[in-house]
Amino acid sequence: MHAFITGAFDTEVGELPGSSCMGLHAQAAIGAVADAGLELSDIDGVLCAYSFTEPHLMLASVFCEYMGIHPGYSAAIQAGGASACIMIMQAAALVASGQCEHVLVVTGDNRLTGMSRDGAVAALAEVGHPQFERPFGISVPASYALVARHYMHETGVTSEQLAAIAVEHRRHAGRHPKAHKREPITVDQVLASKTIATPLHMLDCCLISDGGAALVVSSRAAARDCRGAPIEILGAGQGHTHEHIVAAPSLADFGCKASSKAAFERAGVGCADIDVAEIYDSFTITLAVELESIGFFERGEAGAAAERGDLGLGGRLPCNTHGGLLSYGHSGAAGGMFHAVEAVHQLRGRAGARQVDGARLAFVHGDGGILSAHCSLVLGAH
Amino acid sequence: MNRPLPRPTAETKPFWEGCANGVLRFQSCALCGTVQRIPRSLCSGCHGDALAWHESSGYGRVLSHTTVHRAPTPAFRDEVPYVIALIDMDEGFRLMANVAGGPAAGIGIGSRVEIGFREVDGTMLPHAQVCP
């Protein structure tokens, strides 16, 4: 796609007292630009997402003002958990079309210390339809629980199998020095954790964390001026089927089918070619349906695959090697960006104890809403 | 903090007026027959502007359900555990509703339910009852 990731950075993640949304943006931005071997003045495009703690109609303008930078292109993109991948896809289009040379994509939020956990849960519940969902007490976990109950009924997948996904994520996070939650958990602990909305337990659900992450996306020509090994954006695609769960055309197949198909076709590769996958895991059920809908596993097989260790380091498809939203951290739009940054670490061979041997091709996926908006990327070591 | 209640728009007013009068209504397209999931001004199938309102029999089948233990806002704290169901109505539209009797009602996927109405803070909301 004539676009390359030339810089990547993730801030500390977890409970970061004294952090702020814009402060985390700044830290991530400076880190990513320095990683690329560039100066902030080299950045001629800026893409931001959204914030819960410092919400603004024009977050990218707020960020540029905060940094004292005046890029030739600046915009904010809001698509929930799909934001990070969509921002990268958009940045790729900007550099490939010649409109920009170096686009900074930057996300961050202090969701944990900047608002109460209750506040974050309440704010997220507002994605429910104001007339046809919210009056009935819907929440994001309850919406995913509706998907999970249906999926378990159709496929026979058990709560134990979904729990195995959470357990593997914690194992991954244990290898990442920055991860928010690193202490190992067991299937029994997942099942014994508080019920949020049946069949989902607390440990089936993602974390709420402070943190930030950013990438620099550069054109083919401009990438030559950068310091590190560029990572090529080989393919990208999106899929959109609904916003509200009451309007979802299916509770089993979602837009990830179309988004991954487009990304794979563009890259000229398929599921079997992927060395490492970083896929949105807001809930254990999210990852299960996405892994199957995308085609990495047959319908109803993702849970059993997790039990077998297929998603672990050394497994058939090492997945969410940083620990994902379930264990590494979830800081709003930065949550999805952590997946992309981890893919870059893996493809550069810089993932330390969690390095997938010889990782050359990575699949990154984000979904927003209730499996509503999807964006897939195929990234390659160059 | 109050419970979020529907604020009808021009497009949804007939639905909520129906609820207030104990009648469940849905929209379908007079041109292509598409039944609309959520009321709107033009057909989601053919984009024609010939949507018509009809009365539902009130019967449907549970597509999925969950028992909520963690309330999204303080307004729902006194209600937990409560059941939310997605219901495929016989006429082809889909509804989200709470289930009378909560977890004890023993709802399952495929259960037959009848939609009645429940008053919440002066507004009548659709409310599912498991059929005997």
Q: Residue B111: which residues within 8 A CB-CB, separation 6 or more?
A: B61, B62, B130, B131
H-helix or E-strand spanning residue A84 = helix A83-96
Q: What is the DSSP letter of A81?
A: G
Suggest the residue from A132, A147, A153 to mutate for an interface test with chain B (most B CBs closer than 10 A).
Answer: A132
| Distance between CA atoms of residues A104 and A39, nearest Å | 11
The whole-number pLDDT of residue A301 equals 97
Cβ of B98 within 8 Å of Cβ of A142? The answer is: no
| Distance between CA atoms of residues B68 and B104, nearest Å | 13
Average pLDDT over residues B26-42: 96
Tell me the domain boundaries of chain A: 3-114+209-223
The whole-number pLDDT of residue A4 equals 98
User: Å from A115 to nearest chain B CA?
Assistant: 14
Average pLDDT over residues B85-94: 98
User: Å from A170 to nearest chain B CA?
Assistant: 23
Tell me the domain boundaries of chain B: 7-55, 58-132
Q: Give me the interface pTM, i.e. the ipTM.
A: 0.97
A265, two tokens: 């076709």
The nearest alpha carbon in chain A to B103 belongs to: A198
The whole-number pLDDT of residue A117 equals 77
Map residue B117 onto helix, strand or coil. strand
Contact predicate B14/B53, CB 8 Å: yes
Average pLDDT over residues B21-42: 96
**Residue B1's pLDDT band (cuts 50, 70, 90):** low
- Tell how far CA A53 is from the center of its chain: 19
- Residue B46 confidence (pLDDT) above 70: yes
User: Å from B88 to nearest chain A CA?
Assistant: 10
Cβ of B97 within 8 Å of Cβ of A136? The answer is: yes
The second-level CATH assignment, the architecture, of A3-114+209-223 is 3-Layer(aba) Sandwich (3.40)
The nearest alpha carbon in chain B to A145 belongs to: B66
- Sheet strand arrangement including A210-219: A73-76, A45-48, A102-110, A210-219, A3-10, A231-240, A373-381, A361-368, A276-279
Averaged pLDDT of chain B: 96
Cβ of B37 within 8 Å of Cβ of A141? The answer is: no
Cβ of B38 within 8 Å of Cβ of A195? The answer is: no
**Residue B61 forms beta bridges with which residues?**
B88, B112
- Give mean pLDDT in consecutive 10-residue pieces for chain A, a chain of 382 residues: 96 96 98 97 97 94 98 97 98 98 97 86 87 97 98 97 98 97 98 98 97 98 90 98 95 95 98 98 98 97 97 98 98 97 98 97 98 98 88
| Distance between CA atoms of residues A330 and B111, nearest Å | 36
What residues in B contact A147, CB-CB < 8 Å? Answer: 64
The whole-number pLDDT of residue A24 equals 98
The whole-number pLDDT of residue B2 equals 81
Partner-chain residue, chosen from A135, A139, A150, that has the shortest CB–CB distance to B64: A150
> What does pTM read for this prediction?
0.97
Contact predicate A198/A71, CB 8 Å: no
Contact predicate A87/A145, CB 8 Å: no
The whole-number pLDDT of residue B26 equals 98
A→B interface, C-beta within 8 Å: 118, 121-122, 124-125, 129-139, 141-142, 145-150, 153, 194-200, 244-247, 251
Output Rg (C-alpha) for chain A, integer angstroms.
19
The whole-number pLDDT of residue A232 equals 98
Which of A166, A199, A195 has the alpha carbon at shortest distance from A183?
A166
Please write the tens of the pLDDT for every residue from B47-59. Answer: 999 999 999 999 9
Q: Which class does domain B58-132 fall in?
A: mainly beta
The nearest alpha carbon in chain A to B79 belongs to: A137
